[in-house]
């Protein structure tokens, strides 16, 4: 069986998608290839998202927002968009999910912790699901 690829997409690739990617890397290790991108990538990560993940022992500070590339979508087994209505290219045979999540941009740490915890629960379920296939 080949290693499944999961792509997380949000507009700025600076908060939600980076937190989800951080969790998936931490939970699945080398068993899943993890990508994240944005339709309009920010210049840098949301520092509050970085701080919220650091509380979990996951360092995403070195991640860089990347522009969504149709080839990344084509190469992915699962594409997860983050409640931001992204226009994502659709390819047959690719599984798509949309996670309705609040945008952590401009929010305080307490609010971002709630978003982080919701992402963690969804990623835990995703790991079990993707590795069971």
Query: Quick check: helix, strand or coil at residue 110?
Result: helix
Q: What is the pTM of this model?
A: 0.94
**Catalytic residue from among 7, 32, 68, 84:** 84
What are the pLDDT digits (tens) for 56-76?
999 999 999 999 988 998 999
What is the distance between the alpha carbons of residues 112 and 88, in angstroms, rounded to a whole number?
A: 25
23 in active site: no
Q: What is the pLDDT of residue 93?
A: 81
Domain extents in the chain? 5-132
Strands 78-81 and 33-38, sheet pairing: unpaired
Q: What is the pLDDT of residue 132?
A: 85
What are the pLDDT digits (tens) for 80-89?
998 666 566 6
What is the distance between the alpha carbons of residues 129 and 114, in angstroms, rounded to a whole number?
A: 23
1 in active site: no
**Catalytic residue from among 9, 28, 82, 88:** 88
Closest CA to 67 of 19, 4, 11: 11
88 in active site: yes
**Catalytic residue from among 6, 9, 10, 58:** 10
What are the pLDDT digits (tens) for 13-50?
999 999 999 999 999 999 999 999 998 899 999 999 99
User: Topology of domain 5-132, per CATH?
Assistant: Rossmann fold (3.40.50)
Q: What is the pLDDT of residue 101?
A: 92
* pLDDT, mean of residues 84-107: 81
């Amino acid at each position: 069986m080949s290693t499944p690829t999961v792509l997380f997409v949000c507009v700025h690739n600076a908060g939600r998608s980076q937190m989800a990617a951080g969790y998936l890397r931490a939970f699945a290790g080398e068993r899943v290839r993890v990508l994240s991108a944005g339709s309009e990538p920010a210049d840098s990560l949301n520092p509050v998202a970085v701080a919220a993940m650091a509380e979990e022992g996951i360092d995403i500070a070195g991640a860089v927002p990347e522009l969504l590339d149709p080839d990344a979508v084509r190469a992915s087994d699962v594409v997860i968009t983050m409640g931001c209505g992204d226009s994502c290219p659709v390819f047959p045979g690719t599984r798509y999910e949309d996670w309705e999540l609040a945008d952590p941009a401009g929010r305080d740490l307490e609010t971002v912790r709630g978003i982080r915890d919701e992402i963690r629960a969804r990623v835990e379920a995703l790991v079990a699901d993707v590795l069971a296939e």
